[in-house]
Each structure stands twice: as C-alpha cells, then as structure tokens.
A and B are shown apart, each in its own frame.
Chain A
C-alpha cells in the first residue's frame, strides 16, 4: 500500500503529477512559485487545490461577472454558503452543490454524500438546516442503466436526508438523452439563523488551535476534487475509489455539536469550515488564506481509520462528516469536551502561526512548507476564449407543430416523464420532519415556515438545458426568470439565488462559450428580478466519450413570504372562480417539450423575451396575491398553457371551461413570462385593475371536466382521466 515516495528530482523527470490532474505548465508554475522543486506531498496538495473544483481556474473569470450584492445580502459567495436578511432578526443561508461525477460512478453514495456535503456548508455558517432540495437530470428512463441510476440516486438522497432529519421539500427531475451517462445530481440546502451569529471559515490569531472534529480520515475519495474535474470515458468507467461513503448518523451528531458550539461557545470559536472537496488541505489552507495567517498541522494527530496513511492520503482524503474549527487558545478543552459528549473525535491538530507559511509535520518531519497563497490565491486562472458552436451560428428553421390533436397531444405530454407526477420519486423523501413544511414537493415551489417569526420561505430549483442548448444567454435568463415565477406563484418575493453550473469541458471553446454566454443571461435576469447570486458551485467536464451534456445551470432560488395567510397553491379551489392567463402567448416552439416529444430533438432559434416586462408582471401579480385577490396561481412552463391548466385541475380535483382564442397548437407553446391564476368573482374588478393589460380573462372553474375552446379545435375531457395518465406515467416507466 505504502509505496516509496518519489523524490523532487524524480517527480520532475517521471511527472507523476500528470496522473493527479496537474499539467506540465502548472507543475512549472508551482516550482517557480516555491523557488525549488516541490516534494510529492506538495504536488498532491497543489493538484487538489488547483483543481477546477477548488480553484475555479477556468470559471473564475465568468463567476466574477455575477451580480452578488444588494442591500439584503449579508454575506455573498466565498464562504460555505451565502446569507440574506429576512427580517425579524433572522437570516436565510443557502447553497447548492453538484455531485454529478461521484453519482455517475457510484450513484447511491455519490448522491448521499452530495447531500451530506451541502448540509455541512450550511451549518458551518452557524445556521440550522431547515430544508433540502434536489435538482436531478437523467437520460431516458426506458434505458435500464438510467433506471438503475434513478433508483440508486433517489435512495442515496433519501437515506441521507431522512436519517439526519432535514426535510427534502422540493426540487425537480428532468429527462433528456443528453444526461444518459452523465446524470446531474445537484443538492441544495437552506438554513435559518440569527443575523448576529454568522460564522466564517477563518483561522486567525497566532497561537489559536486548529481542532479537527468528526469522522476519522480514511482512504476514501482521495483526490476526488481532481477526479470531478476530468471527463468520463468508457475505458475508465470504474473509478470507484474516488467516491466517498456517507454516514448520516455521524453527520447528525456533528451538526448538533457544531450548532451547539456556535450557539453557546461563541467566545471560543474563531472560525469553522467543512472538509469538502480536497478534504483537510482545502479546509485548513483556505481558513489560513482568508485570515492571511500561517499554520502548522501535525498529521500524526489526525484521527485515522487506516494505518500507514501517507501525508498525501491524509491531506487529500475526502472522508465525509468532518469539520475544521479554529478555537481560541485556552478554550480547547471546553470545545473538545463538547464534541466528546456527542461521542465524536475532536483533537487539537495544529496552531495558527506567525507569517504566511503552510506547514505539515508527519512523523517528526516537515513534509510540506509552502506559502499559503501558493495553494489559494496563486492558483492558475485561465482566460478561455469561447467560440459559438455551429448549431447556433445557423440555427435550424423554426419548429412548426402543424396539425395536431389537442387531446392526444395533451395525453402525450402529461405522460412524458418531464411533466408526469413525480410522486414515485419524492415520496421516498421525508418532506415533513421538523414540522414546518407548508407546501412540500409537487407545488411550484416549496414553502417552509420560519419558527419564531410570522414568515415563511419559498424555495425552488430550476434548470432547462433544452433552452440553453439553443441559446445559452436567453436560456440562462429563462432559468432565473422561471425560478422567480415559481416563487411568485406561491406568494413569495424572490430574495436571491444559488447556482450549480453544469457544463462540458471548459478547454473546448464551444463549451466555454456556453458557460460565458449563459452567465450573461443569468446576470441580466438576476438584476431584473433583484436576486443576487450568493453562493454556488461549478461542475465542468460533464462529458462522456467527448459528448457534453446540455449546458445546464441549475438555479436554486429562495423567496420570502411575510404573511402566512398569503401562501398560494396551484390547485383550483372553487367552482365559478374566474381563470386568467397572465402574459401573452406566441408561437414559441423551438426548444419546447412539444418539440422534444414529437421530434426527439430540440432545434431552432430560441425566442428572446423581455426580462423587464416579465419582472414587472411578476411584481404586479405578487402584489395582487399579497392583497388576497388570487385563489390559485401556477406558472406556465414545460408543455405550455394546456399542461398548466391540467396541473391546476388535477391538483384541485376540479375542471375548467376556458376559451383561448388562439390556434390550437399554441396551447403547447412555451412563451416566457406567463401564469394562470384564479380569482373569486367578487374580486374581479380589484384584480383586473391591479394587473392591467397583463391579465386575460379566459374562463371559469367548473366541476370535474376540462372544456377548452380554441380557434380551430375544442377539447372536452374528464379531469380524473388526465390525473390517471399523469400519475401512472412515471411509476410505469420506472418499473
């Protein structure tokens, strides 16, 4: 197991770093920064810290363009998670993280540890995690490999969240062939805390202690950060040793203990950080970097699960459920004793030093002595140039659906896994533990009450790779705008976003183009919706055998409901209530679900949409909801108007009689910026004057049957028939 380590000179000639994810230029850069040849441990540390996962070396120039600050943001990107003020002395903390690569290789543990990692990011800030969401993307469930991935990923997410006792309240599951071998597993966690108790991951104050807490360090997930920053190929299908194993029971103890520290031992705590990607090295060196400190760690003191671990293995292990604390000198015993009460390992493993060196001792020898900045600020940054992919230079002609039957097309879309009821997936998640879930999975957004206030938080995840494949800039904007519409539909004011940027190999100009262009769209939409980016992560190299996934930024958005009585759901409530379509409908079929379902592909130019107008419509609708003028609201997305109407009918067990003076096929168009809402007849005047020209009265709620008239076709169908199609589709596909 323990092989003879190569000497610095041997490293220079034998180049083992190539297998660790460092290229020759990067090795040369490291040598130059140190003024000498690095030893094996130092090369290993650099390979982890300079990986895309830790250093964002390709994406940093793009990430810098994000809009990250408004008057409510208390802490933006750069820490474990971002923080936004929600009033009444409370703040919301949230972040999302991808675990695509581990989940492709070992779906159960890959997904489980993705959940575990994002939870640690939240409580490292001092926030109590109150909700989880998962954004998943898979290939066609008719493929048995895809079904296996779905089953194991869902099981992994469920087993972790269910056991630790954080409700999984929402998310999304999308299906397209592009994700067949490279599923997307993006987990988001939301926490709540007092505004005056925000922790940062820093190690400051010479002589203060570094305290390692939680699980022991083993040989699992070694150099996982570098693994996640490379592509898959069939030749390297089984890269299992790079995947970690999760233990939610251990994490619950760790979470409870860390929250007790932040609650009751503020005086002793200097900083706290999760050991995530690149494990011990990233947590410790980043804590030193943020405080401009030096640091010495004694690796012999690190609790180890296996004998004879090398410094490289100890530092780059991604064993789960571990945290690093910086504790004021003199308070070590008090903190160690607290963790012992939870039956957790806690050891003082190092001290903050004068100067700026990062030193590691192993069996009495100095095995690493490098400036902190070499591993943090001095990581390379690459300014890539994007090239527009050929498919975007000359888009295919507009998709014309032609003559279609309203009823058979509706049936087809309701049975498509993208639209189908996802209960078969989400019922495997405990959505109610902590007893604050007002709206769980299945609504436009989840709504969770904030105890100790009169408020609630709404939260959603949105992504739509189909749109970005056709136009990354417009598609990026749509992802943000749609997330905002989902929140507004529940009665929430959007506060901010977190994102997982899932793309292909950034060294390929076409992939980088998608990343950079979509960032423009995301930024424009964030400004229009007043939702800054407060946290996020990047997952590049989502390619299999050279083929990239659809560019898929996942937008996790959180909104604020100030009055619990204004929470709104999509379900029709009462016969005779008025049905309005908010926003205009055009023939926007390129990139639509209708196109994917009927042609098996997406093509054509994506229609631009007016962000300013969308934002204004959303503000007016939110104001109307807050005045109790709206009884049900639903945003119009995948599948268009008729699918949205069916959703509301199925959810309420009621029908509708509507007259839509449009060509029948337009009922499946995916024009942006639209909602369907219901209004009690007595509020008609007030609602119409609040909404102005945006609102089009289209019909009324009626019992049991959906009746639709268009320019050229009519439809009459019992709602229970639609419900059956929608509910049975996914269980049938997953069998």
Chain B
C-alpha cells in the first residue's frame, strides 16, 4: 500500500500517522504538502489530526480551500480510499466529502482520554480486521468532536450501515454515539478517535492497528470492501 499523509500548516499528527503506517504497519508512506495539487500514484490518502491553519475560524474551515483539496475530491470521486482522523474528519465534513458536522463537545472542553468504542460495521474497507460488535479502546483528543447531522441524514447513515465506530460511553455528545462514519459509497472514512495513537504495546495498546490492517487488505482486493458494495 502506498499512502499519502496530507500535511496542512498546523497539522500536528501528520508525522504520527506516517510513523504508524510506515514504521509500525510497514507500508510505503509519504507526507504530501497541502500546497501540492496532485495525488497521483497513491493507493490511499490520510488527512491527519491537528489544528490546520490554527483552526481559529472553525475546525477545517480554512483547510477546505487548500490547493490539495481539489485533488483529494477527485481522488475520492474516483473511489480512492480516504481516511480522515480528528481534524482530518472535520476537514472532510467541511469539504463535503462526508455528511454532517462536528460541534464543540457538550462539556465545551477539550478532552484527551482512552475511549471505548464499539465496531458498528466490520464490512467496510477500514474495519474488516475487526469483528462486528467488538469493543476496542482508542484515544480521543479533541475539543470539537460532537458529531451532528439532521434526522434524515442520520436515518440514511444508519440504513446504509455507514456508521463504523460508536462510542461505548459517549464523551462529547455525538448524535447516535457516532465516533466514525463513511460516505455512502464507503471509500471515505472520518473518525474522531486516533487509531495511529494505538499501534504499539509500549504506548498502551494496539487496537488502532485494525484500521490500517483493514486498508492494507482492501488494497489487496480483499472481499467485503467497497468494491462489493452496491451503493448508488
């Protein structure tokens, strides 16, 4: 798998992501500047966490105008796999690649803690390494992770099986306990918890490896990924 990790000014989990994919998962990975305009040659693109452009206006609101974003939209439209984590998830919703939005946590405070999650759909390209209903623990670290979508959108998400991860103990007020979801086509995943922070026993756990293992399997054409699904 050859992965691109986007780096916006203010991204701060970009090198953590390249460490997880490169050093730990043993894949080919490259940092790509937000000023770049092409994503040719990559099998998947990761939009990492951080505070793109300072996030002073609203998380991800400036990043969606970065030069790389049109290449990213083309990449996703062509069915390429896109993973957005934390600020990456916020950017993907701002850019319209994922439905809904991320509001301030109900506590109005930044929260950093290990958080139990339930795998709600183990058939996506990002989750085949898990089993449905499995409980895993991943760290969260965000101020604006409170997922919101209107009732109709939520109903669609649930009907289509787009919710991939749910909080076992909702820390931020997200509707339907949503911690991670895909687009309708299933090739774009956004999640607030940080899988790249849970890939080494030394640092407290390896529950995040499944996301990367699933992607690697999907690249190999494993079944039950996006290719076998029949979304309009």
Instruction: Answer yes or no: are A and B bound together in one complex.
Output: yes
* Interface set of A (CB-CB < 8 Å, partner B): 155, 158-159, 162-165, 247-250, 252-253, 342-343, 423, 427-438, 449, 564
Q: Does B196 lie at the interface of the complex (its beta carbon under 8 Å from any beta carbon of A)?
A: yes
28 of the cross-chain contacts (CB-CB < 8 Å) are: A158-B110, A159-B110, A163-B51, A163-B54, A165-B13, A165-B50, A247-B54, A249-B9, A249-B10, A249-B51, A249-B54, A249-B55, A252-B10, A343-B9, A427-B113, A429-B110, A430-B112, A432-B197, A432-B203, A433-B16, A433-B49, A434-B16, A435-B16, A435-B19, A435-B197, A437-B203, A438-B204, A564-B202
Q: Which residues of A contact B197 (CB under 8 A)?
A: 432, 435
Is the CB–CB distance between B50 and A431 below 8 Å? no
Q: How far is the CA of A252 from the CA of B54 in the complex (A)?
A: 9
Which has the most chain B C-beta neighbours within 10 Å: A155, A158, A252, A430?
A: A430
Q: Which residues of A contact B113 (CB under 8 A)?
A: 423, 427
A163-B51, A165-B12, A423-B113 known; 4 new pairs, CB 8 Å cut-off, are: A249-B53, A342-B9, A434-B15, A435-B196
Q: How far is the CA of A432 from the CA of B113 in the complex (A)?
A: 9
Is the CB–CB distance between B112 and A248 below 8 Å? no
Question: Interface range on chain B: under 10, 10 to 19, 20 to 34, or 35 or more?
Answer: 20 to 34
A-facing residues in B156-189 (Cβ within 8 Å): none
How many whole Å from A119's CB to the nearest CB in chain B?
Answer: 13
Q: Which residues of A contact B110 (CB under 8 A)?
A: 158-159, 162, 428-430
Interface code B48-91, partner A: CB below 8 Å = 1, 0 otherwise?
01110111100000000000000000000000000000000000
Q: Which residues of A contact B194 (CB under 8 A)?
A: 432
With A427-B112, A438-B202 in contact, is A432–B141 under 8 Å at CB? Answer: yes
Chain A: CB-nearest residue to B23: A451
How many whole Å from A248's CB to the nearest CB in chain B?
Answer: 7
Q: Which residues of A contact B191 (CB under 8 A)?
A: none
- Which of B16, B55, B204 interacts with A163 by CB under 8 Å? B55
How many whole Å from B5's CB to the nearest CB in chain A?
Answer: 13
Q: Which residues of A contact B200 (CB under 8 A)?
A: 435
Q: How far is the CA of A306 from the CA of B230 in the complex (A)?
A: 59
Q: How far is the CA of A436 from the CA of B200 in the complex (A)?
A: 10
Interface code B192-224, partner A: CB below 8 Å = 1, 0 otherwise?
001011011011100000000000000000000
Q: Which residues of A contact B16 (CB under 8 A)?
A: 433-435
Q: How far is the CA of A433 from the CA of B197 in the complex (A)?
A: 8
Q: Which residues of A contact B203 (CB under 8 A)?
A: 432, 435-438, 449
- Which of A247, A249, A342, A433 interacts with B141 by CB under 8 Å? A433
Q: How far is the CA of A435 from the CA of B10 in the complex (A)?
A: 17
Q: Which residues of A contact B143 (CB under 8 A)?
A: 162
How many whole Å from A549's CB to the nearest CB in chain B?
Answer: 28
Is the CB–CB distance between A432 and B111 below 8 Å? no
How many whole Å from A123's CB to the nearest CB in chain B?
Answer: 15
Q: Which residues of B contact A253 (CB under 8 A)?
A: 9
How many whole Å from A276's CB to the nearest CB in chain B?
Answer: 22
Q: How far is the CA of A342 from the CA of B33 in the complex (A)?
A: 12
Q: Does B109 lie at the interface of the complex (its beta carbon under 8 Å from any beta carbon of A)?
A: yes
Which has the most chain A C-beta neighbours within 10 Å: B9, B50, B112?
A: B112
How many whole Å from B208's CB to the nearest CB in chain A?
Answer: 10
How many whole Å from B34's CB to the nearest CB in chain A?
Answer: 12
Q: Which residues of A contact B202 (CB under 8 A)?
A: 438, 449, 564
Q: How far is the CA of A434 from the CA of B12 in the complex (A)?
A: 8
Interface code B13-55, partner A: CB below 8 Å = 1, 0 otherwise?
1011001100000000000000000000000000001110111
Q: Which residues of B contact A431 (CB under 8 A)?
A: 112, 141
How many whole Å from B19's CB to the nearest CB in chain A?
Answer: 6
Q: How far is the CA of A247 from the CA of B55 in the complex (A)?
A: 11
Q: Which residues of A contact B190 (CB under 8 A)?
A: none
Is the CB–CB distance between B10 and A427 below 8 Å? no
Q: Which 5 A-B pairs have the closest CB atoms?
A: A165-B12, A249-B54, A163-B51, A435-B16, A430-B141
Q: How far is the CA of A436 from the CA of B197 in the complex (A)?
A: 9
With A162-B110, A449-B202 in contact, is A433–B51 under 8 Å at CB? Answer: no
Q: Which residues of A contact B53 (CB under 8 A)?
A: 249
With A437-B203, A438-B202, A564-B202 in contact, is A432–B112 under 8 Å at CB? Answer: yes
How many whole Å from A645's CB to the nearest CB in chain B?
Answer: 24
Q: How far is the CA of A430 from the CA of B16 in the complex (A)?
A: 14
Q: Does B139 lie at the interface of the complex (its beta carbon under 8 Å from any beta carbon of A)?
A: yes
Is the CB–CB distance between A433 and B111 below 8 Å? no
- Which of A247, A428, A437, A438 interacts with B109 by CB under 8 Å? A428
Chain A: CB-nearest residue to B9: A253
Chain B: CB-nearest residue to A564: B202
Q: How far is the CA of A427 from the CA of B107 in the complex (A)?
A: 12
Q: How far is the CA of A342 from the CA of B13 in the complex (A)?
A: 18
How many whole Å from B192's CB to the nearest CB in chain A?
Answer: 13
Q: How far is the CA of A165 from the CA of B139 in the complex (A)?
A: 15
Q: Which residues of B contact A429 (CB under 8 A)?
A: 110, 112
Q: How far is the CA of A436 from the CA of B10 in the complex (A)?
A: 19
Q: Which residues of A contact B20 (CB under 8 A)?
A: 435
Q: Which residues of B contact A252 (CB under 8 A)?
A: 9-10, 12
Q: How far is the CA of A342 from the CA of B10 in the complex (A)?
A: 11
Q: How far is the CA of A342 from the CA of B139 in the complex (A)?
A: 30
Q: How far is the CA of A148 from the CA of B84 in the complex (A)?
A: 35
Which has the most chain B C-beta neighbours within 10 Å: A165, A253, A423, A436?
A: A165
A-facing residues in B97-151 (Cβ within 8 Å): 109-113, 139, 141, 143
Q: Which residues of B contact A436 (CB under 8 A)?
A: 203
Q: Which residues of A contact B10 (CB under 8 A)?
A: 163, 249, 252
